[in-house]
Structure 1
């Protein structure tokens, strides 16, 4: 099979949460245990750090990767979902894993796929573990997909665990209270293994602390300081604080020096090949995108948009299971709101989202495509001579950002530099 044929096979054969939602989520670890047993348990052949959290786990994972890369370590990084390229999920020193590895790995387990019927996520986790073991990484940063306790990544025995934040998301699978969600995230805590927590409310923190104590796992909190970094927003300061607390804990095993750490923090996006978080795509007019998609994430991004003190155009898209009644009140006042359907089966119809905005007393406009929506905003900004004092923000889901980056890569938005 070619690389394209291999991806087509994986997408068609395996249930994928990003496409079909909760029905793809396997609520136990049976499949991943069988897969990794058949592969010789590659997850036991490298050191790792396990990162969970409602928001911030992807950023924290990339921060850790950037710092350890800058220090000269061989660093594996597993995150999800991907935006432009499937191989974004599996990186070595910031570089995407080779297409040849994706092909050969998939071909080697075709019979196993038929036998076990795993999910897409389970296969990507096993693929990452195999790649990191083969490359003999010094450290692998492993981000959970959803939750923690029953997440397929939760068969590693890490050097440390991090729980970045606790807020509402995926309530149908993780629970409808912060305490229940905290307990699911804290499911990654292992006996005697230190855990670092981020900026988390006292109620949720108590749940995590209780579980840590029950497993004799030392509990540490993030460094609450300000750091020079290329990552924008107070929430990224919290994420850096989590990463640095973890790095301090592991100094004996993975030494770092302060100068290298400081340098890495100013180049996280470049070093770790990180996209989709307050990513500036154009300067005039200012165009920014971010994958924030739940209450806490949208609230944090809204704060950053308000700090700009500029006119605001929003282009947004959501998934069907998103309760917009809790999201819309968090959005900043905008001159124009354009709505699209993300190009996935789970995407919410633009007209349905427009109806929800109307219920909140906000006028918005439905478009058939993201390209049309963005061109409409751009033309409006230019027509009103507001290109120097307007920001066009794109967000609402990972899938809208994926659609956006594809459009940009294909040259379909020539006004974005």
Structure 2
């Protein structure tokens, strides 16, 4: 079996959420537990940090991995989905998983796949756990898929659990109110394990307090422990001045992830680091400073207000749900440009009208679609957008849309590509 045959088998043989949506979501942990048992329960053989949340969990995961790597720990990182290469999901110290490991794993696990019919995500979780044991990592940062309580990753007992925030996404699977969604995410809270919540909200705080109390898990709200006293955005870098609550002393951090929304993720990361230090991890202030300046280089993170071209500026951002688009529009307001061009594609199971209503009316739009079955047809997206006052043309593939935007844009304009991880992943500028 070649690497191409192995990945093709995974993509076509197994139910895959990115391809078919809710039908691929398994509502219990039975398959994951069986897969792990078959492999000798690798999830019990390494330390971990577990991260859930509606938005920001990818950036938070990568920042934490960068800090741990810089502090000298051999660090695993499991995230999803991937942008361009399946192996992006599994990294050790920033390096992607070896192709031969993928082949060997798929061949080894095939009999169980035939027996229990797991989802694509369940298999990738088991592969990640096995890989981290094989690589003898000191610690792994594990990002949930879309939930918490029933997420396949939720068979680990971490050093610290993290919930970045709660917003509107995947309501058909997680619940139709913010407290209901929060309760699903709170499923990652484990007995006696510290839980860090990135953003405090009146609707969801009582949910976290109740679950943490039941589990006797120490609960910390990151934005109550520290705050960003001042920030600025320059040269595609974000510079934060952070103070601890009740103190006027400031510490300056420079982030190579420039989106304004990283102010919230940065505060969350600092709180998690504090608890890791309390647990005995040797992480210095210098390690944190150095790591945050080069997260992309250390971990391979892409697609978070990522500038890939100048004159005109072309920016990629994977923000795709209501909260993610709100953060993008806040970032647009901080940016300098003459005219704004937005290349956008969405998937069918998002709240399309709510997302479109948040976008700036004065921009020129290039409606497109990623090459996956879940993608909303570009003509339907264009029609729904035009009904609420957004104007532009429809294009059948992402790169045609981007090239049209490049052709029309002046050198002082800005082109933003957003709306779906899969749209961003197909850009080949």
Q: Give the paired residue count.
A: 401
Q: Distance in 2 between matches of 1:25 and 1:44?
A: 24
2:358 maps to what in 1?
A: 330
1:294-309 equivalent positions in 2, closer than 5 A: 294-309=321-336
Under a length normalisation based on structure 2, what TM-score does the superposition of the two structures give? 0.92
| CA offsets 1:43-73 (integer angstroms, 9 cap, x no match) | 0000000000000000000000000001111
8 A Cα contact 1:312 1:333, kept in partner: no
Q: Distance in 2 between matches of 1:153 and 1:293?
A: 22
Shift of 1:294: 0.4
1:229 maps to what in 2?
A: 255
| CA offsets 1:182-233 (integer angstroms, 9 cap, x no match) | 0000000001100001123121122111111111100112132333211113
- Secondary structure in structure 2 of the residue aligned to 1:109: helix
1:27-66 equivalent positions in 2, closer than 5 A: 27-66=27-66
8 A Cα contact 2:316 2:416, kept in partner: yes
| CA offsets 1:127-148 (integer angstroms, 9 cap, x no match) | 0000001111111000000110
- 1:243 pairs, out of 266, 269, 282, with 269
8 A Cα contact 1:305 1:332, kept in partner: no
2:421 maps to what in 1?
A: 398
- Secondary structure in structure 1 of the residue aligned to 2:406: helix
1:369 maps to what in 2?
A: 397
8 A Cα contact 2:260 2:330, kept in partner: no
Consecutive unaligned residues in structure 1, runs of 5 or more = 409-417
Q: Distance in 1 between matches of 2:47 and 2:399?
A: 43
1:199-210 equivalent positions in 2, closer than 5 A: 199-210=199-210
Consecutive unaligned residues in structure 2, runs of 5 or more = 229-239, 241-252
Q: Distance in 1 between matches of 2:317 and 2:342?
A: 12
Q: Distance in 1 between matches of 2:329 and 2:24?
A: 31
Q: Distance in 1 between matches of 2:319 and 2:423?
A: 11
Under a length normalisation based on structure 1, what TM-score does the superposition of the two structures give? 0.94
Moved over 6 A (4+): none
- Secondary structure in structure 2 of the residue aligned to 1:203: coil
2:103 maps to what in 1?
A: 103
8 A Cα contact 1:166 1:200, kept in partner: no
Q: Distance in 2 between matches of 1:73 and 1:149?
A: 28
Shift of 1:88: 0.5
Measured on the aligned residues, the alpha-carbon RMSD in Å equals 1.0
Shift of 1:355: 1.1
- Secondary structure in structure 2 of the residue aligned to 1:250: helix
- Secondary structure in structure 2 of the residue aligned to 1:315: strand
| CA offsets 1:90-134 (integer angstroms, 9 cap, x no match) | 000000010000000110111011001100000000000000011
1:315 maps to what in 2?
A: 343
- Secondary structure in structure 2 of the residue aligned to 1:5: helix
1:257 maps to what in 2?
A: 284
- Secondary structure in structure 2 of the residue aligned to 1:256: coil
Q: Distance in 2 between matches of 1:125 and 1:397?
A: 22
